[in-house]
A and B are shown apart, each in its own frame.
Chain A
């Protein structure tokens, strides 16, 4: 009689088995019926990704490094960051990881772009509706705490193994910060300034474009920075479902106990992370220049 205190009395195994099976079967049936359609729907993403891959891997490396240096200079106006970028890229090239790095960078760029394009409108919608905010917050919590591997399963069931499923898994994992901080940034906009915009007869759009988004931009940039970092982390995990790049050699290193291979590729990822983090933060600070002082 007392044994039920020591082992939690769970639903009996047959029933549990049945439940899991039913759900999986249902999902499989759904995939079977609609999988092709869904794949077709994501085709443009595939094209986009292939395009960016192509540009980064087929352009002569000096031009790529120059282009990155130029972009980062435009965004940050900070020589130190530009210089470290060049050094990091040269080191990566010297150690023979140029191609994989470009594939990873391409993935991060595309995933971040997609997260921003989808996430900002969702964040804006959340900022306008308290109901939506109450509904969306727990969903975002789940998305951020769910172990990232779990995302791979339904994505693979739906779309199989490859670039696009990997991209989608990365976006799902990386999108919450943009959404959250867009919502937060807009909600924190000074009410007095909004009132002034209203007093001059601004429409909802004029309010959004002239006041809310520009004043929320530093906060949104902080969200984008986090999204980039999370995308980079997930790109490695997504290697398990066939995403090419620096993640593949890491997996290989784990399987074969190639310590040095693992460390080199790991360091390359760290290098990219530093470049992207510093560049996006410095850019965010530059945006903030005229806004922050006002609040102080």
Chain B
């Protein structure tokens, strides 16, 4: 649990970011609806974020997804104000981050946020242990205490025995686990992860995702996770926001985005995803019309279509009863519906 026992939500409201010498003047053009390309061509300013509003509930994983240059890094850096907004506000735990004094901001970063970086950004001249303890050192925690806490986290991320090594003696995956330990040792309620796993190879990446999900079960932090990888987004995200050219074009759960893509761009994005693994059975089930028989196959809500299909084929049935967590039947699903939902429908048919 975060040290003060609280879970902090973040809300981003009407956020704009214009890069360039005269950002304030160009914000009006952006509000007036000028496009990113036009603003760059005609006025020489980069419209990195336009009118972003996202409610990030405390204790969940919010994924921000989008292609390169869509503004993901810029957006996440507004939450701890590594970047100052041109307009709009960021409220964390009831306080406006954009209005904090330098001293308040430092205290906020020390106690309320921690960050994991794509390029790890470890201190090369410090050992693994010292790196993991860096956030605590900045806070002024005594040496013995911070090293004890850091050692605990190093063990949690499976790096026990490497405490006195230097970052360059570790593989990329191990370095990123040091980055994760450094962030988690800070014990802050908000965890910001900017493409934290993108530099890792696919197998290690999945391991790291598993580790994060496991840790999140125990610690329930508010995690803002940036990625350009849809599978990663779907695996980790309680909520996903999709950015394009600095604008949010869709927000919702992974399932929402797959079943109801807001536009062609997203539809193309989600086309190749393994839908059976993401879509849950309740999204396709039909309400109960006939009475429940005793010998019907039963599955619980929250089961993926893939698992449901496997279950049906193993039990030799074509219809299953869907029950809620308490075991009450709430609907039925048949193999045809599952098959229909598992393929995308925007492709040419054969």
- Chain A positions within 8 Å of B, measured between CB atoms, are 190, 192-193, 195-203, 206, 210-211, 214-215, 290-291, 293-295
Contacts and interface: CB of A to CB of B under 8 A. Distances in A.
Contacts of B109: 198-201
A215 B125 contact: yes
Nearest to B137: A210
A64 B119 CA distance: 49
Given A192-B117, A215-B124, 19 more contacts: A190-B121, A192-B121, A193-B124, A196-B117, A196-B122, A200-B114, A200-B138, A200-B186, A201-B109, A201-B110, A201-B111, A202-B106, A202-B138, A203-B106, A203-B138, A210-B134, A214-B123, A215-B125, A293-B124
Contacts of B121: 190, 192-193, 195-196
Contacts of A210: 123, 134, 137-138
B106 A290 contact: no
B162 to A, nearest CB: 14
A291 B123 CA distance: 9
Nearest to A291: B124
Q: Interface on chain A toward B: helix, strand, loop, or mixed SS?
A: helix
A290 B117 contact: no
B223 interface: no
A201 B168 contact: no
B168 A294 contact: yes
B74 interface: no
A235 B269 CA distance: 71
Contacts of A200: 109-110, 114-115, 134-135, 138, 182, 186
A195 B117 contact: yes
Contacts, number: 72
B80 interface: yes
A195 B122 CA distance: 11
Nearest to A218: B125
Given A290-B166, A294-B167, A294-B168, A199 B123 contact: no
Nearest to A287: B125
Nearest to B130: A210
A211 B123 contact: yes
Contact of A199 (B113, B124, B166): B113
Contacts of A206: 138
Nearest to A290: B166
B115 A201 contact: no
Contact of A294 (B80, B115, B124, B138): B124
Interface string B197-226: 000000000000000000000000000000
Contact of B82 (A193, A195, A202, A211): A195
A287 to B, nearest CB: 8
B311 interface: no
B82 A201 contact: no
A206 to B, nearest CB: 6
Nearest to A192: B121
17 contacts: A192-B117, A195-B117, A198-B82, A199-B115, A199-B192, A200-B135, A200-B138, A201-B105, A201-B106, A201-B107, A201-B109, A201-B138, A211-B123, A290-B125, A291-B124, A293-B124, A293-B168
B125 A214 contact: yes
Contacts of B138: 197, 200-203, 206, 210
A267 B115 CA distance: 57
A211 B130 CA distance: 13
B139 interface: yes
Contacts of A196: 115, 117, 121-122
B130 to A, nearest CB: 10
B108 interface: yes
Nearest to A294: B124
Which A-B residue pairs are the 3 nearest by beta carbons? A201-B110, A201-B109, A294-B124
Nearest to A193: B121
Interface string B168-195: 1000000000000010001000001000
A215 B123 CA distance: 9
Contacts of A214: 123, 125
Contacts of A202: 106, 138
Nearest to A198: B82
A293 B124 CA distance: 8
A71 to B, nearest CB: 23
